[in-house]
Structure 1
Amino acid sequence: MDFKDYYQALGVERSASEDEVRKAYRKLARKYHPDVSKEPDAEVRMREVNEAYDVLRDKEKRSAYDALADRVAQGYGAGAQAGGFQPPPGWDEGFEFHQRSGRGGPADDAEFSEFFSSLFGQAQRRGAARQNFRARGEDHHAAIEISLEDALKGAEREITLRAMELDAQGQPQFVPRTLQVKIPPGVGPGQYIRLAGQGMPGHGGEPAGDLYLEVRIAPHKLYRVEGRDLYMTLPVTPSEAALGAQAKVPTPAGGVVEVSVPKNARNGLKLRLKGRGLAGKTPGDLYLLIDIVLPPADSDAVRQAYEALASASARFDPRSHLGV
């Protein structure tokens, strides 16, 4: 058995692109096709061209063939020139070959050479055996970002994902697909929405796997999500913080509540509104973080008020703990 140079058979360089390989095949097919060719060896040459194209148009076969050709160039199979070439055991490990039939192009693999059969025949028989394998399809996972409002109230949204699917030859490829997703009310970050049957197809008539969408909540202009709890900054004036006050606050679910700011409230003090967070068996809470905001001294009245405050609190030293 001789080692076959498939690149030479198509008249292309090893660096040839897929498009160049395809063009070379079509040119030779027009020249040697037995139905139209007047060449005396047309049938033999057409078989060689078909065989070379079957290998070089397939990424897995071509990669495996190139790796084998490199070993031959390094001196492996010295008997190749004398017709004694044999592929090394395990030469095709790490490659998965798919048999192409009836796809427009090379003839049936049974018409190919002994060299081709020794390289790819057994591997393709393994692929054919896998086609009879029965198993449920694999589950898929993806992330979905939703608004806080959708998480609170629930919604139905259309999403587009790049999903892995198998093509006609059983090769995985990414294709876009659009799905309708029902978002249940109260869903929180890190939870999953399950779409039954939207994973990878099953094998041998078994059902497809499921698609699990991990929920992420988009940043909100007012609220921050931590688990099932929500946090909101509540700005107050110095006088409200010192003397206490009533403040109106918007709630995540809509509407307004009035909260009491206690006297002598400090920056960062947390006020808890029970059950105003994300819904659930145990609803989350809404926490209001006090943020004391100083009025700008941009008028005589405000400056005089600050001066009066400074005079009245002259004995108050906020830096006494520094020891200087």
Structure 2
Amino acid sequence: MADDQGFRPDWAGKDFYAELGVAKDASAAEIKKAYRRLARDNHPDSNPGDTAKHDRFKKVAEAYDVVGDTDKRPKYDEMRRLQGSGAFGGFGGTRGGQPGGQAGGVNVEDLLRDRMGGGGFGDMFGDLFGGAGGPQRRQQAPRPRKGPDAETTATISFVDSLDGVTISLRLASDAPCPSCSGTGGKPGTRPHICSECEGAGYVVSTSGGAFSMNETCPRCAGRQLIYDEACPTCAGSGRGRSNRTIQARIPAGVKDGQRIRLKGKGTAGENGGPAGDLFVTVKVSPHRLFGRAGDNLTLDVPVSFDEVALGAEIKVPTLGGAPVTLRLPAGTPNGRTFRVRGRGAPRADGSKGDLLATVEVQVPAVLDPAAREAVESYRDAVSGKPLRSRLFEEAG
């Protein structure tokens, strides 16, 4: 049976590795895989009425609770090593003709119980089998808990999205209650171990499937401790609201709608746990001239009929740099796109995309007499070559 510290001496004589069918030096992944397979094969929900498999499931769960726990496993291994060396004269069973782990007239269970209260072996193994001691077992310190992630949006200019910018963000987020420091209890009162989860912070659920699942304890919300009187400020939730301003660096080349993760800038944690992360959704204001297509910038360039018909060299602006010259071949069609390499948006590797300049032929709304005469002369010159004759040929 368990002593008043939750220690089960008989467990020291059990080979939990053999129970799971793995080697003593098996990795955590191998242990987990073996447990899942055995739990699935022997789960009571899958084997109704099969008491042998029900017992097997309990043994597998007991073994995994110890060697599948990163804190318990090294203590269990050390206990087995010490037992094998005879350092403690055995645990449980019969030794020297005396039951209950006695050796040479000394009851080892009594010895361990005495020493658990005063350090030494008890400090090393006192919390090894934490689920068996009931309400009187040693109180564990609440686990640190990471704070929840937070989200916000930020609007920046088109130029800043290309160059990168540091912005100030005003955040109103969840935070530990200032009155109870996140405990959820009335200031000045003392907590006690949650009877629902026995201080583990979680409960095991085996209903509705082949696997057992750890779920946050519904009574203590994972805090492991409960207070009889709730904090009047937060009504026992342990949380409050915090208004703060942080500086956030938006990297160069960010796209409209992109989500930036700022590690550790989210909601504060509990019991010394780390803060969560902050996710910033970036909105980019449109530019009057330039657009964006992936890593490329786009620009619509107005041109005249004679420039595309006869050919020309024209200058176009770039964003944040010197103008560049485009050479338009004679007969350039309306809507043709020219590529200027290296004048686009910055990429993550430090290179840049391209500038895509698309020509748009402008039709004058009003012609002066000389221009009208010139256009009429051009019309007369090409009147023998109707442009739409092919439409009727294809249609017919």
For structure 1, the residue ranges without an aligned partner over 5 or more in a row are 1-130
Instruction: State whether residues 188 and 278 of structure 1, in contact with CA within 8 Å, keep that contact through their aligned partners in structure 2.
Output: no
For residue 256 of structure 1, what is the amino acid of its counterpart?
A: P
Instruction: State whether residues 229 and 284 of structure 1, in contact with CA within 8 Å, keep that contact through their aligned partners in structure 2.
Output: yes
Larger helix fraction of residues: 1
1:137 counterpart = 2:204 = no
Instruction: State whether residues 237 and 293 of structure 1, in contact with CA within 8 Å, keep that contact through their aligned partners in structure 2.
Output: yes
TM-score w.r.t. the length of structure 2 is 0.44
For residue 154 of structure 1, what is the amino acid of its counterpart?
A: G
1:312 counterpart = 2:381 = yes
Output one character per residue of 1:129-174: Cα deviation in whole Å (capped at 9) or x when no partner. xx94532122223332221211222222223345444655147677
Instruction: State whether residues 249 and 256 of structure 1, in contact with CA within 8 Å, keep that contact through their aligned partners in structure 2.
Output: yes
Q: CA RMSD in A?
A: 2.7
Instruction: State whether residues 150 and 267 of structure 2, in contact with CA within 8 Å, keep that contact through their aligned partners in structure 1.
Output: yes
Tell me what 1:214 maps to. 281
Aligned partners of 1:238, 1:172: CA distance in 2, in Å? 69
Distance 1:212 1:266, change over 3 A: same
Structure 1 counterpart SS, 2:374: helix
TM-score w.r.t. the length of structure 1 is 0.54
2:354 aligned to 278, 285, 291, which one?
285
1:183 aligned to 233, 237, 250, which one?
250
The within-5 A match list for 1:132-281 is 132=142, 134-165=144-175, 167-168=177-178, 169=234, 170=237, 177-280=244-347, 281=349
Return the structure number with greater relative CO, CA threshold 8 A, min gap 6: 2
How far 1:264 moved relative to its partner? 1.2
How far 1:252 moved relative to its partner? 1.2
Distance 1:320 1:190, change over 3 A: same
Tell me what 1:303 maps to. 372
Tell me what 2:223 maps to. none
For residue 202 of structure 1, what is the amino acid of its counterpart?
A: G
How far 1:283 moved relative to its partner? 2.1
Distance 1:165 1:312, change over 3 A: farther
How far 1:270 moved relative to its partner? 0.8
Aligned partners of 2:239, 2:330: CA distance in 1, in Å? 65
For residue 308 of structure 1, what is the amino acid of its counterpart?
A: S
Output one character per residue of 1:66-102: Cα deviation in whole Å (capped at 9) or x when no partner. xxxxxxxxxxxxxxxxxxxxxxxxxxxxxxxxxxxxx
For residue 331 of structure 2, what is the amino acid of its counterpart?
A: N
Instruction: State whether residues 257 and 284 of structure 2, in contact with CA within 8 Å, keep that contact through their aligned partners in structure 1.
Output: no
Instruction: State whether residues 150 and 185 of structure 1, in contact with CA within 8 Å, keep that contact through their aligned partners in structure 2.
Output: yes
Aligned partners of 1:191, 1:209: CA distance in 2, in Å? 19
How far 1:223 moved relative to its partner? 0.8
Instruction: State whether residues 246 and 260 of structure 1, in contact with CA within 8 Å, keep that contact through their aligned partners in structure 2.
Output: yes
Instruction: State whether residues 297 and 303 of structure 1, in contact with CA within 8 Å, keep that contact through their aligned partners in structure 2.
Output: no
Distance 1:208 1:259, change over 3 A: same
Distance 1:171 1:244, change over 3 A: farther
Instruction: State whether residues 140 and 199 of structure 1, in contact with CA within 8 Å, keep that contact through their aligned partners in structure 2.
Output: yes
For residue 274 of structure 2, what is the amino acid of its counterpart?
A: P
Moved over 6 A (4+): 171-175
How far 1:296 moved relative to its partner? 2.6
Distance 1:186 1:157, change over 3 A: same
